[in-house]
Amino acid sequence: MSEPIRVLLVDDSAVVLHGLKTILEESPNLVIVGTAATYEEALAAVRQCRPNVVLLDVRVGSASGIDLCESIRQTFPRIAVLFLTNRHDTVSLRSAIHAGAQGYLLKSCSGLDVMRAVEVVAEGRAVIDPTLTAQVITWIRDGAQASRPQSIDDCSEADIEVLSRIAAGKSNKEIARELHATPTKIASRIQAIYKRLKISRRSEATSCFVRWSERLPHSMPTGTSFRDRSLAGTTPAAEMAIGHSVIQPR
C-alpha cells in the first residue's frame, strides 16, 4: 500500500484551517502534517514537514500567497501547490499559474473536490475549478493570437507600399522620396512592419512580400488603388522584386 499524501494547510483563518483539517482527515489517502497562518510560518513548516502538497490561499494575512507559492516551487520543486481561494478573477488565476501552482480551486467547491484535487496535484497533474475553465480557454486563445505572426494581408495599404519598395531593393531614402516622407518616418514604419510580421531583416521582408505577391491573380484593372491592385494582381514593384531579387543591406 502506498504512503499517504502529506499535506500542509496554509490560511490566515483558524476556522478555515480547522474545517479543512477535519474534511481532509476523512480520506485514508491524506495526512495533515502541519498548518500555518502566516508567510513565515508556512516557509518554516515546508522545511520542517516536507509535505507533498501545500494547500494555500491567494492572500495569507498581509502577505501574498502567490509569492509564497513561487518561493516554495523554486526551493522545493517537487512540492505541489494547490490554491483554495475565494478569488475568481483572471489576474489571480494567471498569477498563480505563472508562480508554478498545479491547482486552483474556489472555496465554493465541495470537500470531496478538495480531496480529489490534492490527490491529482500530488500525482503531478493539474486541476482548475470548473467555473474558471472559460477564463483559461480565453487566456490560451488570446495568447495564441498575440504570438501568431500576422501576414501581409493584415497590413495597411501604406505598409504594402513600403514593403513593395523594400522588395524592389530600394533604400530608406529612396522610399522616403517616392512616398513624400522623411527617412526617419519610413524607418519607424519599417520597424513597426517588422514587429507586426515577426521579422527583423529586409531580406525577410522581401521574401514575405514576394510570397504574398505570387499568390495574387495576374490581372489588374486600371485606375485602381494600390490595395485594389494588390488584391487583383501583382504590382510592378513586386514584378521587379521577383525578376531581380535585389536586396538592400539591413
Q: What pTM was computed for the model?
A: 0.58
pLDDT per residue as tens digits for the range 25-35: 999 999 999 99
Phi, psi of 169 (to 5 degrees): 85, 20
Longest CA–CA span in the chain (Å) reads 82
Q: How far apart are CA 104 and CA 58, in angstroms?
A: 10
Q: How far apart are CA 197 and CA 208, in angstroms?
A: 9
Q: How far apart are CA 32 and CA 25, in angstroms?
A: 7
Q: How far apart are CA 46 and CA 39, in angstroms?
A: 11
Fold identical between 5-145 and 152-244? no
> What are the structural domain ranges in the chain?
5-145, 152-244
Q: What pLDDT was estimated at residue 138?
A: 79
pLDDT at residue 244 tops 50: no
H-type alpha helices, 123-156: 133-147
pLDDT per residue as tens digits for the range 38-67: 999 999 999 999 999 999 999 998 899 999
Give the start-end residues of each E strand in the chain: 5-10, 30-36, 53-56, 59-60, 63-64, 80-85, 103-106, 127-128
Please report, rounded to a whole number, the percentage of residues in the chain having pLDDT higher than 70.
82
Lowest mean pLDDT among 56-60, 65-69, 140-144, 240-244: 240-244
CATH of 5-145, one of 3.60.15.10, 3.40.50.2300, 3.40.30.10, 2.102.10.10: 3.40.50.2300
Q: What pLDDT was estimated at residue 236?
A: 41
Burial status of residue 109 (CB atoms within 10 A of its CB: 0-12, 13-18, 19 or more) = middle
User: Between the CA of residue 124 and those of 78, 82, 92, 127, 220, what are the distances in Å?
Assistant: 9, 11, 22, 10, 60
DSSP string, 62-93: TEEHHHHHHHHHHH-TTSEEEEEES---HHHH
Which of 18, 14, 31, 22 lies closest to 111, judged by CA?
Answer: 22
Which of 233, 147, 247 lies closest to 201, judged by CA?
Answer: 247
Which of 75, 37, 73, 77 lies closest to 56, judged by CA?
Answer: 37
Q: Are 79 and 99 in contact (CB under 8 A)?
A: no
Class of domain 152-244: mainly alpha
The total number of residues shown for the chain amounts to 250
pLDDT at residue 4 tops 80: yes
